[in-house]
């Protein structure tokens, strides 16, 4: 019985974590697609399908910005939390061709 309760507890926590996870695809659509294209094919901004950056580097770019980059990446993309940046970077990695 104890074991069953423990299993249920773990399951409940795991499910609530899944709910809390940021939706990278939705965030990408609202925050990035206008410049990088719906499928990351590139528009005003370069193609993300062909970026040489790793997932971690993309997340870093979004949360910290990179010196010498044009807007909006000279600084952190405004309003993004670290969790959101990670979710977007994970999604961007799936766009790669």
68 CB-near residues (< 8 Å, 6+ apart): 74
Confirm if 49 and 95 have CB atoms less than 8 A apart.
Answer: yes
51 touches ligand HEC by CB under 6 A: yes
Confirm if 31 and 87 have CB atoms less than 8 A apart.
Answer: no
Q: Which of 25, 53, 76, 93 binds ligand HEC (CB under 6 A)?
A: 53
Evaluate the omega torsion of the peptide bond into residue 66 and state whether it is cis, within 30 degrees of 0: no
31 touches ligand HEC by CB under 6 A: yes
93 touches ligand HEC by CB under 6 A: no
| Contacts with ligand HEC, residue ranges (CB under 6 A) | 31-32, 34-36, 44-46, 48, 51-53, 58, 61-62, 69-70, 72-73, 77, 88, 92
């Amino acid at each position: 019985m104890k074991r069953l309760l423990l299993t249920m507890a773990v399951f409940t926590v795991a499910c609530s974590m899944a709910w809390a996870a940021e939706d990278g695809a939705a965030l990408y659509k609202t925050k990035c697609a206008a410049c990088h294209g719906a499928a990351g094919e590139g528009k005003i901004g370069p193609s993300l399908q062909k970026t040489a950056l790793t997932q971690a580097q993309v997340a870093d770019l979004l949360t910290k910005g990179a010196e010498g980059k044009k807007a909006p990446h000279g600084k952190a993309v405004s309003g993004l939390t670290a969790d959101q940046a990670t979710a977007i970077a994970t999604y961007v990695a799936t766009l790669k061709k």
